[in-house]
């Protein structure tokens, strides 16, 4: 009596893309079945909307936090930084159509007409910029070289800190 051994071939090994395609196909079938079941279960309800529309109320705008600085120069620099953070940063112009502003415009707007204080803030900001970027000649030329708002906000932080420590 002879015995025959049946050798089955090993199942093919599927790569990640093939496995994902199989799972996607299986999930598509499940979702289609669930959609049909939902339609059948709600068909008897008059005016049943298969996907209810939910209207969300807009979130209220956060209240502006008061400045933690009590000295005029540090307070102005802090508020100018917050203006850039909330309104947006403008690189190649004083402001743009979306309301974004450059550092000098942010300072002038927050100075509220006090030209001397605005001038002092610009000087303090340029000093803070030149501590990190010695070749920076002016705020606008340095601002135009930046590719992101991060260095601008960091310069405001340094200038604010220096004004605060000097009690200005």
| End-to-end Cα distance, the chain | 106
Average pLDDT, the chain: 86
- Specify the higher pLDDT residue, 38 or 3: 38
- In sign, the C-alpha dihedral spanning 116, 118, 119, 124 is positive
Per-domain boundaries in the chain: 72-165
Q: Which of 36-50, 56-70, 145-159 has the highest mean pLDDT?
A: 145-159
The pLDDT-based confidence of 137 (bands split at 50, 70, 90) is very high
Q: What was the pLDDT predicted at 95? A: 87
The pLDDT-based confidence of 41 (bands split at 50, 70, 90) is confident
Q: What was the pLDDT predicted at 64? A: 66
Place of tokens 């000093």: 127
Residue 52 scores a pLDDT above 60: no
* Total H helices, total E strands in the chain: 6, 0
Q: What whole-number distance in Å separates Cα of residue 17 and Cα of residue 144? A: 45
For the residues 128-141, what does the mean pLDDT come to?
A: 91
Q: What was the pLDDT predicted at 55? A: 64
With a CB cutoff of 8 Å and minimum separation 6, the contacts of 58 are: none
**Helices 72-87, 103-111: inter-axial angle, 10-degree rounding:** 120
């Amino acid at each position: 009596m002879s015995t025959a051994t049946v050798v089955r071939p090993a199942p093919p090994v599927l790569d990640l893309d093939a496995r994902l395609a199989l799972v996607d196909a299986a999930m598509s079938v499940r979702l289609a079945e669930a959609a049909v079941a939902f339609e059948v279960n709600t068909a008897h309800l008059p005016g049943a909307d298969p996907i209810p529309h939910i209207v969300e109320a807009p979130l209220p705008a956060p209240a502006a936090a008061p400045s933690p600085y009590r000295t005029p120069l540090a307070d102005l620099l802090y508020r100018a930084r917050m203006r850039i953070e909330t309104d947006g940063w403008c690189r190649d112009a004083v402001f743009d159509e979306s309301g974004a502003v450059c550092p000098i415009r942010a300072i002038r707007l927050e100075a509220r007409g006090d030209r001397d204080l605005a001038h002092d803030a610009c000087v303090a900001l340029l000093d803070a910029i030149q501590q990190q970027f010695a070749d920076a000649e002016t705020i606008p030329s340095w601002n135009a070289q930046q590719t992101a708002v991060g260095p601008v906000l960091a310069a405001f932080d340094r200038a604010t800190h220096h004004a605060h420590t000097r009690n200005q």
